[in-house]
Structure 1
Amino acid sequence: METLNYRYEQGTRSLTAQPQIVGVVGSGNLEVLIEAADLNGACSIEIQTAAVGFGAIWQAVMQDFQQRWQLANARISINDMGATPAVVSLRMDQAVQTMLGDAA
């Protein structure tokens, strides 16, 4: 297992809803927990992954996600069992959309 941590400052979209979990950890998939947290305007992402050595790809996917959503005061935890970057993006977008509801 590998643990990756990313922190993005100065987001513009804060979350206020109850924490949400999307996805299921299993072969080729992942689980995303998203929650509001007082992080001084930052978005914190922690990834636990079975796919060791893909840090550069994870970083690119996380940067793309944060550029799209500009989250602030958000904590995201990901448990991964080898999902593709497309599935990661889909699940993360799904988590934000679930948390924001109609405001997305």
Structure 2
Amino acid sequence: MESFSFTYPAGKKIAQCAHIGVVGSGDLEILVEPRNDEYTEFIVRTASDGFQEIWKSVFERFTAQYDIAATLTINDFGATPGVVSLRLAQVIEIANRK
């Protein structure tokens, strides 16, 4: 089990907290909370050790597209980068619903 975090500058606010996914074989859950500052923080707990650079690449693509000020807590059980990207897009869609 490995835990780490990344922080990036951000500019846009999200409307509300949101949750997507489940922690299970090959999947992950993401909890997103709005922030009052201008940063996005990703907090990752993963069952797969040694993949921080891949996570970092996924987060850099995500922040370039979404630029949201939020804390995203990710509980992973071996999801692929494609699944991570999909779940990130889904949770932001839910967080921006009014």
Could you say whether these structures have the same fold, taking a TM-score greater than 0.5 normalized by the shorter chain as the test? yes
2:8 alignment counterpart: 8
* TM-aligned CA deviation for residue 101 of structure 1: 2.0
Distance, in Å, in 1 between the alignment partners of 2:35 and 2:67 is: 15
User: What's 2:24 paired with?
Assistant: 26
Which residue in the other structure is 1:100 paired with? 96
Q: Which runs of 5+ in 2 are unaligned?
A: none
2:78 alignment partner in structure 1: 82
Partner of 1:53: 50
Structure 2 residue identity aligned to 1:68: Q
User: Percent same amino acid among aligned pairs?
Assistant: 37
| Count of residue pairs the alignment pairs up | 98
Point out where structure 1 has 5 or more consecutive residues left out of the alignment.
Answer: none
Q: Which runs of 4+ in 1 moved over 4 A?
A: none
TM-score (norm 1): 0.90
Scaled by the length of structure 2, the TM-score of the pair is 0.95
